[in-house]
């Protein structure tokens, strides 16, 4: 079983080779990825400036994991507040609990199109975002946004034109060529060549 804190420490461990530290950062993303794994990975690579050759700037990995850690700390604080309120409700005999805070995740299906602001700045808006139905107002931009269709292989997403989050439902499509192109583009993002 993995632990965010354990892998965060491995990213900070300068005794490890840079590729192992990058692997630890990616494992942290499996534990907490507010935009989805791919978009959050791309966001951290861009915001921290993680180079393709990790030897050039190994400190970028620390910068990235600390940005992710700060965002996760905000979410954990919100979660702990709910747990405390729930214990008080149980003590008072309330059988039907208030709903827990939503899972912190607005999906960005295009890994290269996501909010540009640092994760800790986006987290408060992300945690208070509504989760139901098609949204006319983007929960992150907080403005009425036009939507951009994105074909992601078999799915057509409505994306916020300003920040790239998926708004509303997905509709199934059959564009195999588009899916193959998206996989090829993801390989470039994964290797930090984009």
Segments making up each domain of the chain, as ranges? 4-190
Does pLDDT of 165 surpass 60? yes
- Which span out of 100-104, 106-110, 155-159, 173-177 was modeled with the highest average pLDDT? 106-110
d(CA 62, CA 85): 34
Average pLDDT for the chain: 79
Tens digit of each residue's pLDDT (9 = 90 or more) over 113-156? 888 889 998 888 877 766 544 556 677 776 665 555 555 554 45
**Between residues 9 and 128, which one has the greater pLDDT?**
9
pTM value is 0.76
Q: Edge-to-edge strands of the sheet including 171-172?
A: 147-152, 155-160, 171-172
Q: Is 30's pLDDT higher than 80?
A: yes
pLDDT band for position 173 (50/70/90)?
very low
Lowest mean pLDDT among 1-15, 27-41, 100-114: 100-114
- Per-residue confidence (pLDDT) for residue 13, from 0 to 100: 95
For residue 60, count other CB atoms closer than 10 A to its CB: 21
């Amino acid at each position: 079983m993995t632990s965010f804190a354990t892998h965060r420490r491995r990213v900070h461990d300068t005794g490890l080779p840079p590729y192992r530290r990058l692997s630890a950062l990616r494992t942290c993303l499996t534990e907490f990825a507010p935009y989805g794994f791919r978009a959050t990975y791309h966001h951290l690579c861009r915001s921290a400036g993680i180079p393709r050759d990790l030897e050039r700037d190994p400190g970028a990995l620390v910068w990235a994991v600390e940005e992710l850690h700060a965002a996760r700390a905000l979410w954990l604080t919100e979660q702990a507040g709910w747990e405390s309120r729930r214990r008080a409700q149980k003590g008072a005999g309330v059988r039907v609990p208030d709903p827990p805070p939503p899972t912190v995740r607005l999906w960005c299906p295009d890994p290269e199109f996501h909010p540009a602001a640092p994760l800790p700045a986006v987290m408060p808006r992300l945690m208070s975002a509504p989760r139901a139905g098609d949204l006319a107002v983007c929960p992150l931009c907080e403005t009425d946004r036009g939507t951009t269709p994105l074909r992601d292989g078999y799915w057509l997403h409505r994306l916020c034109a300003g920040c790239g989050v998926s708004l509303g439902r997905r509709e199934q499509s059959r564009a195999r060529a588009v899916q193959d192109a998206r996989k090829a583009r993801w390989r470039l993002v994964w290797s930090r060549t984009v």
